[in-house]
Amino acid sequence: MSRNHLLAALLVTVAGPAWLFGAGTVSGKVTYTGTPAKQKTIDMSKEPSCAKQHATPITTETVVTGPSNVLENVVVYISAGAADESSAPAQAVTFTQKGCQYIPHVLAMRTGQELKVVNDDQTSHNIHPLAKVNHEWNKSQPPGTPPLSEKFEKEEFIPVKCNVHPWMRGYFAVLKTSHYAITADNGDFSLPNLPPGKYTITAWQEDYGTQTQDVTISGSETKTVDFTFKAKPY
C-alpha cells in the first residue's frame, strides 16, 4: 500500500462518517430566567500571598452570568446517540491553582485523558476531587512542585476542593464523548462534526443541575438548541 493510500485509509477510519455523509453541528445559547443568587466575595486574608494577586477580591463562581442573561461555565455534551469512541486524546488537560483559585473553574476532559494539576502559588494546596463513581483521592502540592498527573476512568461530574483553602471550588466534567463544549462569557456553545443521527444533548450547571433535549441531525446542517435554566435567588 502506498503512503497516500495509507493516509486515505486512515482518514476514512478516523473521520469516516463525517467525511462520507457530511457533518452536522448543534449550537446554541444557555440562558437563565429569574434572579440568580448574588455571588459572595471571597475573603482570602488568611493567605496574603494569594490575596495580593487580586486587585479586587474575587467572588464565588457558583453561577457566572453575562449580559442578556447568559450563563457561563455550563457543560453541554452529547449524552446519548453518539458512537462509542475509543481512546482518549494524548494531549493532557491542565487545571491550575493560581491566586488560591481554580483556573478554569469547570474543566472538561475525556475518560482516561491525562489531567495535569499545576500549583502556581507560593503556598501549599491540597487538591481533593470529591469523586463518588471514580476513585477519590487528595494530594498535597507544595509550592514549586512539578505538576501532578492523574486520570479518571468513569464518566462523572466531580466537585474539587482544596483541603487547605476552604473557599476554593472547581469541577471536573469527565465525559465519555468527545462532543462537548463549555459555554464562554457569551453563553454560546457549539458541538461540530456530528454524523447524521438522533442525539440527546445534556447541559449541566453546577448549581442548577442538568437539562436534556433531543435533536436529529441529517446531513451537514446546523441545528440550534437553546437551554434555559431557572435561577435560584439563594
Partner 1 sequence: MGKLFAVILVVIALASAIPIVTHTWYGSGINLAPPPDISTHGYAIDKQLSETMVEAGLSFLAAQLLLAFFVWKFAGRRDDQPIKTFPGGAKVVVIAALVLVGTEILALGVFGQKAWANVYFMPSAPDAMQIQAQAGQFAFYFRYPGVDGKFGVLHPDKIDEGNSNFFGLDPANDMESRDDIVSGELAVPVNREVLLLMHAKDVGHSFYVRELRIQQDFVPGLDLSVHFTATKVGKYEIVCTQLCGLGHYNMKAYLNVLSQEDFDSWMKQKVSEQ
Query: What residue ranges bind partner 1 (CB under 8 A)?
Result: 38, 40-47, 57, 60, 62, 123-124, 126, 140, 159, 161, 163-167, 169, 207, 232-234
Minimal distance, residue 193 CB to partner 1, in Å? 34
The DSSP line for 176-211 is S-S-EEE--TT-EEEEEEEPSEEEEEEEEETTTEEE
Minimum CB distance to partner 1 smaller for 38 or for 198: 38
| Grid cell in block for residue 55 | 486587585
Instruction: Read off the amino acid at residue 212.
Output: T
Query: What are residue 175's DSSP bridge partners?
Result: 110
Minimal distance, residue 38 CB to partner 1, in Å? 8
Minimum CB distance to partner 1 smaller for 47 or for 221: 47
| Grid cell in block for residue 73 | 461555565
Minimal distance, residue 48 CB to partner 1, in Å? 9
| 8 A C-beta contact, residue 69 and residue 30 | no
* CA nearest neighbour of 233 among 15, 33, 27: 33
Minimum CB distance to partner 1 smaller for 53 or for 220: 53
Minimal distance, residue 58 CB to partner 1, in Å? 11
Report phi then psi at 10, rounded to 5.
Answer: -65, -45
Minimum CB distance to partner 1 smaller for 26 or for 44: 44
Minimal distance, residue 204 CB to partner 1, in Å? 15
Minimum CB distance to partner 1 smaller for 61 or for 150: 61
Exposed (0-12), middle (13-18) or buried (19+): which is 21, by Cβ within 10 Å? Answer: middle
